[in-house]
Structure 1
Amino acid sequence: MALSADPLSAGPLSSGLLSSDPLWPRAGGWPAPEGEAVDLGLIGIPTWRTSLSPTNAGLTPAAVRAALRYYSEHFGGAPDAPFTVADWGDVIDPDADERAAIASVAAVRARLLVALGGDNAATVPAALGTWGARIGTAGLVTVDAHHDLRDGVSNGSPVRRLIEAGLDGSRVVQIGISDFANSAEYARRAKDFGVTVVHRDELHGRSMADVMTEALEVAGSAGGPIHVDLDVDACDRAVAPACPAAVPGGISAHELRVAAREAARHPLVESVDLTEVDASADAPDGRTVRLVALCVLEAAAGLRLREG
């Protein structure tokens, strides 16, 4: 597959048009790790080869890093305490060597790992690399329009693969599952596995913060580590045009940001991934990639609130 250019490469970031203000430091540009553990660790897992839809999702980690420069790290509700971030770079061809991708994730020394996909295949190394031998007590929350319980190895199979690897299905919660985006067989499979499903329609009368709180209680019921998969195609296609499988009527950008913050706030959440964005298919204003960048910052804000 030929990869197209970074959609932000022709914008103000590359042409040096962004303003420079020492009193308004920009987010991103975080250093590589230097041996000490940090609060938030960023890693790219640019999966794309097994996607069920044609995608250039392998471009997305770099595009998100560029988009972070549009924003600041300032969060008004954060406690006044030191906060460290490091960037572990990108895993090399995680589709070709998933074991190496898992090992790369396991090497990240951070209170919270944020993994940038790639398609949803990135969820498997992100979760397994974080959990390690603790998978028997681990929990998983997905914000996703799809069950991801397909057979085989693809971006449509990560939840099934994690359950078959030892994750207890009763500690899996799926938020945002949509009609006309799944099949009856996979809905039955979710039920058979004991997965808790929060349908898209259920979110209309409930706040995302409350839904995430309940989901994290279920996922963390055994006291083990929780991984949160934020599949951006849960969002309405109008706000996430770079997601091949996003449908009209999905959740709002604000709801996804709230989910990212609430996930990172929870003391058992050790890792979050952001997946299913093809940066080369984004709108000219880069809205999908910018949403992912803001979710990275929301995760940082949520982590800072743990002790706040």
Structure 2
Amino acid sequence: MALYDDPLWPRAGRWPAPTGHADVVLVGVPTWRTSITPGSAHLTPAAVREALQRYSLETDLVVADAGDLVDPDASPAQAAEAIAALDASLVIAVGGDNAATVPVALGRRADTLVTVDAHHDLRDGVSNGSPVRQLLEAGIPGERMAQLGIEPLANSDAYRVRAAEAGIAVVTRDELTRVPLADAMSRALHRVGGSRVHVDLDVDACDRSVAPACPASLPGGFSALELRHAARAAGAHPSVVSIDLTEVDASLDAPDGRTVRLVALCVLEAIRGFETR
């Protein structure tokens, strides 16, 4: 169905390809081949771009869209090089599954990691369940990592111990029923320090009712508004150089597209946050 065209209501998402430096660059990182739960997460960036046009964003920032990386699962190193070539103060990457976190963080030369996720992502091997472990091995110290929203019942004791031994600051979902997620994000960014921070917003940290397109979303997760506020807080922090939104399989979304639309809104919230820097 064609969207109504109103010249007084400019649609978001109609951003040009990068030409020189941009304040914010959007890029699709359609990882999916190594997912623990097979699916079609590679369809999500295109779906998010379509959803962006349902919203309006008027800004004086230079915002560009670099399109999608080609098969980033085939060579994460080449994907990281493509990310590194983006000339932007903030890169917003849309996955794809959580494997996208690794090339984005490495490409942006991140020295710090903050995640909003129900899972530790410290598994062995290479999959969407291992990006935090891979980034530890790549040189980001555990003391410069924070994980917000961890659900103990969705993780094993072995990975809980692994996180503790690495020195990762962990805040559980239950603890965040008493502290707003946006406040926890701001505190984590202050606590872990670092001059180049990557923020991983794993959408399956949200409640299953608002994120049905996330295979691992749980009942009792964050609300859509909480994730949006976290995206804005991340975008506002001067040390955040990249944000990813991952673990959404557009082919599994509800008929109303609620998960994909949430991702689109988080992109816009991050841009709004950047405006306040």
Q: So what's the TM-score if we normalise by structure 2? A: 0.98
Find the counterpart in structure 2 of residue 287 from structure 1: 258
For residues 180 and 172 of structure 2, the distance between their equivalents in structure 1, rounded to whole angstroms, comes to: 13
Q: Judge conservation of contact 1:219–1:226 (CA < 8 Å) in 2.
A: no
Q: Does 1:200 align with 2:173?
A: yes
Q: Judge conservation of contact 1:40–1:84 (CA < 8 Å) in 2.
A: yes
Find the counterpart in structure 2 of residue 49 from structure 1: 33
Q: How much has 1:173 moved relative to structure 2? A: 0.3
1:243-299 CA distances to partner (integer Å, 9 max, x unpaired)?
000011101101100110000100000000000000000000000000000000000
Q: Give 1:174's aligned amino acid.
A: Q
After superposition, residues 1-308 of structure 1 pair within 5 angstroms as: 12=1, 16=2, 18-34=3-19, 36-74=20-58, 82-131=60-109, 138-220=111-193, 223-306=194-277
Report the 3-state secondary structure (helix = DSSP H, G, I; strand = E; otherwise coil) of the residue aligned with 1:53: coil
Aligned length: 277
Q: How much has 1:209 moved relative to structure 2? A: 2.1
Find the counterpart in structure 2 of residue 8 from structure 1: none
Report the 3-state secondary structure (helix = DSSP H, G, I; strand = E; otherwise coil) of the residue aligned with 2:152: coil
Q: Judge conservation of contact 1:172–1:218 (CA < 8 Å) in 2.
A: no
Q: Judge conservation of contact 1:38–1:86 (CA < 8 Å) in 2.
A: yes
- C-alpha RMSD over aligned residues: 0.9
1:63-92 CA distances to partner (integer Å, 9 max, x unpaired)?
000000000004xxxxxx721111111111
Q: Judge conservation of contact 1:243–1:278 (CA < 8 Å) in 2.
A: yes
For residues 130 and 105 of structure 1, the distance between their equivalents in structure 2, rounded to whole angstroms, comes to: 7
Q: Give 2:127's aligned amino acid.
A: S
Q: Judge conservation of contact 1:171–1:195 (CA < 8 Å) in 2.
A: yes
Report the 3-state secondary structure (helix = DSSP H, G, I; strand = E; otherwise coil) of the residue aligned with 2:208: coil
Report the 3-state secondary structure (helix = DSSP H, G, I; strand = E; otherwise coil) of the residue aligned with 1:209: helix
Q: How much has 1:242 moved relative to structure 2? A: 0.0
For residues 218 and 189 of structure 1, the distance between their equivalents in structure 2, rounded to whole angstroms, comes to: 20
Report the 3-state secondary structure (helix = DSSP H, G, I; strand = E; otherwise coil) of the residue aligned with 1:197: strand
Structure 1 spans left out of the alignment, 5+ residues: 1-11, 75-80
1:206-244 CA distances to partner (integer Å, 9 max, x unpaired)?
112211111101232xx4200000000000000000000
Q: Which runs of 4+ in 1 moved over 2 A?
A: none
1:8-41 CA distances to partner (integer Å, 9 max, x unpaired)?
xxxx2xxx1x11111100000211112x201110
Quick check: which has more Rg, 1 or 2? 1
Q: Give 1:175's aligned amino acid.
A: L
Report the 3-state secondary structure (helix = DSSP H, G, I; strand = E; otherwise coil) of the residue aligned with 2:182: helix
For residues 276 and 39 of structure 2, the distance between their equivalents in structure 1, rounded to whole angstroms, comes to: 35
Q: So what's the TM-score if we normalise by structure 1? A: 0.89
